[in-house]
Amino acid sequence: MTDRRTALARLCVGSALVTLGIGSANAVSETEASLQISYRNGSQRTLTFNDLNGLTQHSIVTATPWHLGTPTFTGPLLRDVLQLANFEGDVVLASAVNDYNVTIPVEDLVQHRVVLAHSINGERLTLRTLGPLYVMYPLDSDETLQTSAVYARCIWQLLQIKEP
């Protein structure tokens, strides 16, 4: 009976992941924290976890609509990631595993300490915990950040950023 339950549970989880687009051939591994950069001229670059981890790491503690309490998000500042990637433009087009896309104004990244988190509360993010990369604004630092527009920019399971 236990084997049947385990098999059924695995089947259900696998089906859910495929439904979310996580089981597709283009999906990232559970803990792979890399970021695909696509430039206006059509070229691409991949920043690996080592590239991202080589940048100065920042932590922000902030309440969110999606977490209990006030978790600590850790990773490089998104503006530092863009600088490393020689990214140009006034906006970032961000895409997630589930084909969610959002436009993030670069001005946000200049004005606020927006983190490209790879960890929450000291634990590496995985696909199951909304990672491996998660854009997080310091929502508690400024009431003007507590809007649906900014919440929409807190993109989890981030795969790619593009120059428009």
The whole-number pLDDT of residue 15 equals: 37
What is the predicted pLDDT for the residue at 32? 66
Q: What is the pTM of this model?
A: 0.80
State how many domains the chain has: 1
pLDDT, position 157: 97
Confirm whether 69 is domain-assigned.
yes
Q: Which amino acid is at 92?
A: V
Query: Is 11 a member of any domain?
Result: no
- Respond yes or no on whether the N-terminal peptide bond of residue 132 is cis (omega within 30° of 0): yes
What is the average pLDDT score of the chain? 85
The per-residue pLDDT for range 12-27, each reduced to its tens digit, is: 334 344 334 444 334 4
156 vs 13, higher pLDDT? 156
In a domain, 155, yes or no: yes
Residue 8: inside a domain: no
- Tell me the mean pLDDT in the region 108-124: 97
* Residue 80 structural domain: 28-162
Residue 33 has pLDDT above 70, yes or no: yes
What is the DSSP annotation of 75-91?
A: EEBHHHHHHHTT--SSE
Quick one: CA torsion of 154, 139, 127, 76, rounded to 10 degrees?
90
Region 117-126: what's the mean pLDDT? 96
CATH code, domain carrying 116: 3.90.420.10
**First-last CA distance in the chain:** 54
Q: Which residue has the higher pLDDT, 114 or 2?
A: 114
Q: Is the pLDDT reported for residue 141 higher than 60?
A: yes
Q: Cα 68 to chain center, whole Å?
A: 19
Q: How confident is the model at residue 164 (pLDDT cuts 50, 70, 90)?
A: confident
**Tens-place pLDDT, residues 35-78:** 999 999 999 999 999 999 999 999 999 999 999 999 999 999 99
Joined together, the tokens standing for residue 162 give 């593009």
Is residue 84 a part of any domain in this protein? yes
Q: What is the mean pLDDT of residues 129-150?
A: 96
13 occurs within a structural domain: no
Q: What percent of the chain has pLDDT over 90?
A: 78
Euclidean distance between CA atoms 164 and 145, whole angstroms: 24
Higher per-residue pLDDT: 24 or 124: 124
